[in-house]
């Protein structure tokens, strides 16, 4: 296992018939890095992320996730990653505690570890008074924070976050990023997509997908320098405007 | 009027562009007819018979010949060993066994009460009793022909005629059942799902916030399914007449009129369901659980209603399909006119008016 | 002239224990481009539904284009255009079929008001025979806007039209709204993206069913109570933690490249001290500058109160 890199892809491609959704992408993500995965609608972000999580088989190319091959070891990959999306994260009709126990159980935590983690998690999130309440009754921001904590409950090597802060208020959004920083400092690699360009600035490195290819990949500073613009928003606009497909 | 027309056009496009809906709409009746017509018939064909012949003379041979000539039976084996009977039942190689006594000749000519033994495998009681009565008929028939010349001993022979359905074909019972099942299913399920779909996609909000009268929206939703159901009815009727030799003795016009009432009734029910639910799955589940199962079980075409516990019989009265089933049977098989079924028709109309009234009253001009 | 008047509107959903709207008061001028800015759960959609006559408020009153939303709901339904947040058109109908359907529903034809939608429709016209389900997100949004505009409404309600849409399409969309405004249509648009606030003439900041502030974006920004500073060093994550530990700092929030801070007693001297403290904490390339607040700064400040 290469301990330097959490994700390595080489010429990774996915086609649906004559349509190449992801077109020979090659990149590496270092361990403990916060990696922003940006792109316009329909650029192929979701398809690429599905392949990296072992949910869909690539058409060609290769990739290793946490040291495991995405063709052969999809089951092992799944034990090494956490996943959280904007759409589904927690069971609304279970309580906070039940959700934590359930997801911890799925990831094979022992009973003792589960108990310890549950208490720790409820404590750090300040959810003591809410732990017996149904998740449905929590505000969106709390749900998202809880969902993130649950996604990393088994201390995965990598956590994939698909637009985790969509529609969340500005304060909670920042609290959410505090959680991301903490996880990154524990050595968890963060792979995140977002529509908020200020969040792109919080990433160590950012990749920009355009028409199934990676059009740019660097730290936010260097990207801004390279395109001679003020903000990541302008970088995005500059690159995505060149997109031909999708429209 | 223009609004109404474009809405109806749109509904037809939805139906014809979705292969799943089309399959449901037209595949369902065909599958039902084929399934009930050929696979699930309660007629008995070629039941295996074991004959234990202790007489072994001309008369016993003649009886065996008569039995094997019947379409209902197939003589598997003739033996003299009594113990084979039980063995054959255990192995399932025979459904029914007949023991012909050694004095069969004597019995035919001189006895008033014969004792030819018929043993049947009653683990399936319906089949067993049907087979037994078939056998009795054959033997009785034979006895009569033999005695024809002589002056017969005093006896009363019941002569059974199966009116309207002399050959006891299953189709006459289930085709009316399938018609009501399909009409109900298509109308209730399709309307409720298609309305709820608009709620889910948000287009219902736009339709409500438009100059279009909410009532027009509902009528436009129902009209396409009304016509599709009539087409469906025609498909089933043609199939059952051509493929299953189903009689159509009464007025076709009357049949379509009564069917239109049932369709309206089902459409109102679908509308009612769509009013009280917001997800397609829920609408589908309610339609299936609430309509399909009671209609299958309590209409009377699969299981006779008379044999059911009283509460269930009462409950069956609120099912439109029960009344429609009676109506269709009367028209198609008995060839009766409106005067014979006005009571059922009125009940059906009453149900329809009530449901339509409730569903229109409950229709929301706002979101909640 | 006021085109929308909302007075003391309250709405709760007892089943879900939610007070969706809590005493809302808003006035929108005729021809104004008005923004409702707030996160999910702020009550934007509920307010839209009340104004478009789809929901009844528990209390309070609202008038849209001179008609009462309860009594004259039929009149309102004739003259407003509405694009719901989750609206996804008829996926199995083509672009043209969708448009002509909605045109007919609104008692008009594509031809009659073509000049109004021409600029927008031209983007999607090459695909007019394509099913709506096969369009990209940006194109769907343009088609939905055309459908909402086809009857030349007096007031246009757009519920989160840019959510989940990428930056490029969002910019295009706002350009379209500016052009529509010139046609004299009153536009009310909701969005969770704070940066879009600057594109509206006036905005209402909403949070948990309450209005935090209603005014022009410039006015809201200028009423930010404290001087605001942006600060940047080599190590931003550590900086965030260090800044939080300094008692003289009133608030600290990360804002992309910089962190934004306010001080308890802002002065040149305090800034010097701050610089010194950070240098002692081994921060390098310390960059502190005074900045003008953004809408998001104001929103956070108002939320924290």
Q: Is the domain of C130 the same as that of C240?
A: no
Among the ranges given (A36-50, B107-121, B234-248, C276-290), the one the predictor scored with the smallest mean pLDDT: B107-121
Share of chain B above pLDDT 70, in %: 89
Beta strands in chain C (DSSP E): 2-13, 18-29, 33-37, 59-64, 67-68, 80-83, 155-158, 186-191, 202-207, 210-215, 228-232, 249-255, 258-263, 287-291
Distance from C-alpha of C233 to C-alpha of C254, rounded to nearest angstrom: 12
From chain A, pick out residues whose CB is under 8 angstroms from the CB of C193.
195-196
Pairs of residues, one from chain A and one from chain C, whose beta carbons lie less than 8 Å apart: 96
State mean pLDDT over A113-117: 88
What is the pLDDT, as a whole number, of residue B201?
A: 85
Put simply, the answer to whether B10 touches C101 (Cβ < 8 Å) is: yes
Of A56, A59, A52, whose CA–CA distance to A5 is shortest? A52
Q: Are B115 and B54 in contact (CB under 8 A)?
A: no
C56 near A CB under 8 A: no
Q: Is the domain of C196 the same as that of C276?
A: no
CA distance A170 to chain C (A): 7
Q: Is the domain of C213 the same as that of C253?
A: no
Q: Is the domain of C149 the same as that of C11?
A: yes
From chain C, pick out residues whose CB is under 8 angstroms from the CB of A40.
166-169
Q: Which chains touch B (3 or more CB pairs under 8 A)?
A: C
Q: Do chains A and B touch (3 or more CB pairs under 8 A)?
A: no
What pLDDT band is residue C286 in, cutting at 50, 70 and 90? Answer: very high
Q: Is C208 left (phi over 0), alpha (psi -120 to 50) or beta?
A: left
CATH: 2.40.10.10, 3.40.1710.10, 3.30.1600.10, 3.30.10.20. Which one for B47-147? 3.40.1710.10
Q: Which contacts qualify for C177-185: CB closer than 8 Å, 24 or more apart? A: C177/C33, C178/C33, C179/C119, C180/C116, C180/C149, C180/C156, C181/C31, C181/C32, C181/C33, C183/C116, C184/C30, C184/C31, C185/C31, C185/C152, C185/C153, C185/C154, C185/C155, C185/C156
Q: Are A154 and A108 in contact (CB under 8 A)?
A: yes
Q: Are C155 and C77 in contact (CB under 8 A)?
A: no
Name which of A195, A219, A245 to mutate to probe chain C: the one with the most chain C Cβ atoms within 10 A of its Cβ: A195
Residues 297-336 (B) with a CB less than 8 A from some CB of C: none
CA distance C25 to chain B (A): 22
C192 near A CB under 8 A: yes
Question: Boundaries of CATH 3.40.1710.10 in chain B?
Answer: 47-147
pLDDT greater than 70 at residue B113: no
Could you give the ipTM of this predicted complex? 0.86
pLDDT digits (tens, 9 = 90+) for B208-226: 888 888 888 888 888 998 9
pLDDT greater than 50 at residue B45: yes
A232 near C CB under 8 A: yes
Distance from C-alpha of B78 to C-alpha of B168, rounded to nearest angstrom: 29
C22 near A CB under 8 A: no
Name which of A19, A86, A170 to mutate to probe chain C: the one with the most chain C Cβ atoms within 10 A of its Cβ: A170
Among the ranges given (A180-189, B291-300, B324-333), the one the predictor scored with the smallest mean pLDDT: B291-300
What pLDDT band is residue C280 in, cutting at 50, 70 and 90? Answer: very high
Q: Residue C11: what are its φ and ψ, rounded to 5°?
A: -150, 130
What pLDDT band is residue A247 in, cutting at 50, 70 and 90? Answer: very low
pLDDT greater than 70 at residue C288: yes
Could you write out the DSSP letters of every residue in C123-164?
HHGGGTTSBGGGS-HHHHHHHHHHHHHTT--SEEEESSTTTT
Share of chain B above pLDDT 90, in %: 12
Neighbour-count burial of B71, counting CB atoms closer than 10 A to its CB (0-12 exposed, 13-18 middle, 19+ buried): exposed
What pLDDT band is residue B163 in, cutting at 50, 70 and 90? Answer: low
> Is the CATH number 3.50.50.60 carried by domain A31-55+74-240?
no
Name which of B197, B209, B213 to mutate to probe chain C: the one with the most chain C Cβ atoms within 10 A of its Cβ: B209
Q: Is the domain of C129 the same as that of C60?
A: yes
Distance from C-alpha of C255 to C-alpha of B339, rounded to nearest angstrom: 83
Q: Is the domain of C86 the same as that of C129?
A: yes
What pLDDT band is residue C86 in, cutting at 50, 70 and 90? Answer: confident
Q: Are C69 and C50 in contact (CB under 8 A)?
A: yes
Cβ within 8 Å of residue B66, ≥6 positions away: B138, B139, B141, B142
Better-predicted residue by pLDDT, A114 or C218: C218
Looking only at the bridges linking them, the beta strands covering B96-100 and B73-79 are unpaired
Q: Is the domain of C124 the same as that of C157?
A: yes
Going from N- to C-terminal start, the domains of chain A cover 31-55+74-240
Computed over every residue of chain B, the mean pLDDT equals 83
What is the pLDDT, as a whole number, of residue B142?
A: 80
Nearest to A202 among C165, C171, C254 (CB): C254
Residue in chain C nearest A224 by alpha carbon: C257
Residue in chain C nearest A221 by alpha carbon: C257
What is the pLDDT, as a whole number, of residue A1?
A: 47
Among the ranges given (B17-21, B330-334, B361-365), the one the predictor scored with the smallest mean pLDDT: B361-365
A225 near C CB under 8 A: no
pLDDT digits (tens, 9 = 90+) for C219-274: 999 999 999 999 999 889 899 999 999 999 999 999 988 999 999 999 999 999 99
From chain A, pick out residues whose CB is under 8 angstroms from the CB of C237.
181, 185
Distance from C-alpha of B19 to C-alpha of B27, rounded to nearest angstrom: 11
Q: Is the domain of C84 the same as that of C116?
A: yes
Q: Do chains B and C touch (3 or more CB pairs under 8 A)?
A: yes
**Gyration radius (Cα) of chain B, Å:** 28
Q: Are A31 and A8 in contact (CB under 8 A)?
A: no
Residues linked to residue A38 through DSSP beta bridges, in sequence order: A208
Cβ within 8 Å of residue B138, ≥6 positions away: B63, B66, B67, B70
Among the ranges given (A146-155, A164-173, B27-36, B324-333), the one the predictor scored with the smallest mean pLDDT: B27-36
Interface of C with B (CB under 8 A): 49, 52-56, 73-74, 76-78, 80, 82-93, 97, 100-102, 104-107, 147-148
Biggest CA-to-CA distance, chain C? 72
Q: Is the domain of C163 the same as that of C273?
A: no
What is the pLDDT, as a whole number, of residue B112?
A: 60
Cα B265 to chain centroid distance, Å, stands at 20
pLDDT digits (tens, 9 = 90+) for C31-62: 999 999 999 889 999 999 999 999 999 999 99
- Say which residue the tokens 């609004």 belong to: B3
Q: Are B29 and B232 in contact (CB under 8 A)?
A: yes
Distance from C-alpha of B362 to C-alpha of B359, rounded to nearest angstrom: 5
pLDDT greater than 60 at residue B232: yes
State mean pLDDT over B316-340: 89
What is the pLDDT, as a whole number, of residue A246?
A: 52
What CATH number did the domain enclosing C241 receive? 3.30.70
pLDDT digits (tens, 9 = 90+) for C230-243: 999 988 989 999 99
Angle CA C244–C305–A143, to nearest 5: 75
State mean pLDDT over C275-279: 93
Q: Is the domain of C102 the same as that of C6?
A: yes
What pLDDT band is residue A229 in, cutting at 50, 70 and 90? Answer: very high
Helices (H), C160-249: 167-182, 217-222, 236-245
What CATH number did the domain enclosing C163 receive? 3.40.50.300
What pLDDT band is residue C11 in, cutting at 50, 70 and 90? Answer: very high
Print burial letters for A148-176: b (CB count within 10 Å at least 16), e (below 16).
bbbbbbbebbbbbbbbbbbbbbbbbbbeb
Side-chain half-sphere CA neighbours of C298 within 13 A:
27
Q: Are A38 and A194 in contact (CB under 8 A)?
A: yes
Better-predicted residue by pLDDT, B55 or A206: A206
Name which of C48, C62, C77 to mutate to probe chain B: the one with the most chain B Cβ atoms within 10 A of its Cβ: C77
pLDDT greater than 90 at residue B186: no
What is the pLDDT, as a whole number, of residue B40?
A: 60
Structural tokens at position A162: 């698909």
Q: Residue A186: what are its φ and ψ, rounded to 5°?
A: -75, -5
- Domain containing C257: what range? 228-304
pLDDT greater than 80 at residue B165: no
Q: Is the domain of C214 the same as that of C242?
A: no
Task: Tally the domains of chain C.
Answer: 2
Residue in chain A nearest C303 by alpha carbon: A171
- Say which residue the tokens 């270092």 belong to: A30
């Amino acid at each position: 296992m290469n301990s330097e890199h959490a994700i390595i892809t080489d010429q990774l491609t996915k086609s649906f018939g004559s349509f190449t959704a992801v077109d020979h992408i090659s990149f590496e993500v270092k361990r403990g890095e916060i990696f922003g995965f940006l792109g316009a609608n329909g650029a192929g972000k979701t398809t690429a992320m599905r392949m990296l999580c072992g949910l869909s088989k690539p058409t060609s190319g290769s990739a290793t996730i946490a040291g495991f091959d995405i063709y052969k070891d999809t089951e092992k990959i799944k034990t090494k990653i956490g996943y959280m999306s904007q759409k589904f994260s927690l069971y609304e009709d279970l309580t906070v505690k039940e959700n934590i126990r359930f997801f911890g159980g799925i990831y094979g935590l022992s009973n003792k570890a589960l108990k310890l983690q549950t208490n720790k998690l409820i404590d750090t999130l300040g959810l003591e008074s809410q732990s017996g309440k149904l998740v449905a009754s929590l505000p969106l921001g709390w749900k998202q924070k809880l969902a993130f904590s649950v996604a990393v409950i088994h201390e995965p090597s990598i956590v994939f976050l698909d637009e985790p802060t969509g529609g969340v208020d500005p304060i909670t959004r920042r609290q959410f990023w505090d959680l991301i920083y903490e996880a990154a400092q524990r050595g968890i690699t963060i792979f995140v997509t977002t529509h908020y360009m200020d969040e792109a600035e919080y990433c160590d490195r950012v990749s920009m997908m355009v028409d199934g290819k990676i059009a740019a990949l660097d730290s936010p500073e260097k990207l801004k320098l390279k395109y001679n613009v003020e903000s990541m928003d302008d970088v995005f606009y500059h690159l995505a405007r060149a997109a031909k497909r999708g429209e | 009027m223009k609004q109404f027309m474009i809405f109806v056009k749109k509904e037809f496009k939805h139906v014809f562009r979705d292969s799943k809906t089309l399959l449901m709409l037209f595949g369902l009746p065909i599958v039902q007819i084929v399934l009930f017509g050929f696979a699930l018939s309660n007629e008995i064909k070629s039941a295996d018979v074991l004959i234990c012949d202790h007489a072994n003379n001309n008369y016993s041979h003649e009886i065996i010949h008569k039995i094997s000539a019947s379409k209902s039976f197939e003589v598997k084996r003739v033996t003299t060993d009594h113990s084979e009977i039980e063995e054959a039942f255990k192995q399932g190689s025979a459904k029914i066994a007949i023991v012909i006594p050694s004095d069969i000749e004597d019995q035919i000519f001189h006895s008033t009460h014969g004792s030819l033994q018929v043993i049947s495998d009653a683990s399936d009681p319906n089949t067993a009793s049907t087979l037994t009565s078939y056998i009795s008929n054959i033997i009785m028939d034979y006895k009569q022909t033999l005695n024809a010349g002589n002056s017969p001993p005093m006896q009363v022979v019941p002569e059974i005629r199966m009116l309207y359905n002399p050959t006891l074909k299953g189709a006459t019972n289930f085709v009316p059942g399938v018609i009501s099942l399909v009409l109900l299913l298509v109308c209730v399920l399709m309307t409720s799902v298609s309305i709820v779909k608009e709620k889910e996609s948000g287009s219902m909000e736009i339709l409500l916030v438009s100059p279009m009268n909410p009532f027009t929206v509902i009528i436009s939703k129902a009209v396409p399914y009304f016509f599709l159901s009539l087409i469906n009815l025609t498909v089933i009727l043609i199939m059952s007449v051509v493929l299953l030799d189903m009689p159509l003795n009464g007025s076709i016009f009357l049949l379509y009129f009564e069917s239109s009432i049932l369709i309206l009734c089902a459409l109102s029910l679908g509308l009612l369901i769509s009013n009280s639910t917001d997800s397609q799955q829920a609408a589908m589940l309610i339609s299936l659980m609430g309509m399909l199962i009671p209609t299958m079980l309590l209409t009377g075409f699969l299981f006779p209603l008379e044999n059911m516990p009283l509460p269930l019989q009462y409950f069956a009265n609120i099912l439109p399909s029960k009344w429609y089933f009676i109506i269709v049977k009367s028209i198609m098989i008995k060839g009766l006119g409106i005067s014979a079924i006005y009571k059922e028709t009125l009940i059906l109309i009453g149900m329809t008016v009530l449901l339509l009234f409730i569903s229109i009253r409950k229709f929301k001009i706002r979101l909640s | 002239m006021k085109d929308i008047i909302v007075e003391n509107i309250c709405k709760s959903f007892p089943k879900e224990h939610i007070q969706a709207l809590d005493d809302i008061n808003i006035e929108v001028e005729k021809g104004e481009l008005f923004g409702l800015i707030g996160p999910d759960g702020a009550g934007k959609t509920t307010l839209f539904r009340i104004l478009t006559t789809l929901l009844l408020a528990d209390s309070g009153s609202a008038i849209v284009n001179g008609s009462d939303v309860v009594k004259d709901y039929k009149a309102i339904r004739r003259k407003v255009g509405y694009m719901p947040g989750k609206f996804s058109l008829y996926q199995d109908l083509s672009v043209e079929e969708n448009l002509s359907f909605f045109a007919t529903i609104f008692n008009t034809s594509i031809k009659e008001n073509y000049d109004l939608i021409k600029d927008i429709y031209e983007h999607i016209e090459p695909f007019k025979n394509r099913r709506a389900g096969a369009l990209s997100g940006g194109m769907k949004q343009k088609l939905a806007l055309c459908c909402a505009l086809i009857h030349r409404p007096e007031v246009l309600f757009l519920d989160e039209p840019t959510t989940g849409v990428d930056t490029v399409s969002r910019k295009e969309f706002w350009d379209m709204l500016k052009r529509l405004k010139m046609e004299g249509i009153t536009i009310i648009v909701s969005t969770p993206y704070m940066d879009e606030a600057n594109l509206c003439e006036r905005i209402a900041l909403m949070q948990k069913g309450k209005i935090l502030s209603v005014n022009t974006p410039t006015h809201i920004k200028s009423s930010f109570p404290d001087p605001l500073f942006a600060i940047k060093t080599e190590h931003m994550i550590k900086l965030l933690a260090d800044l939080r530990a300094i008692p003289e700092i009133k608030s600290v929030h990360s804002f992309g490249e910089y962190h934004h801070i306010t001080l308890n007693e802002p002065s040149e001297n305090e800034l010097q001290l701050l610089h010194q403290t950070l240098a002692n904490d081994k921060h390098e390339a310390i960059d502190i500058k005074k900045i003008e607040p953004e809408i998001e700064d104001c929103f956070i400040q108002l939320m924290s109160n």
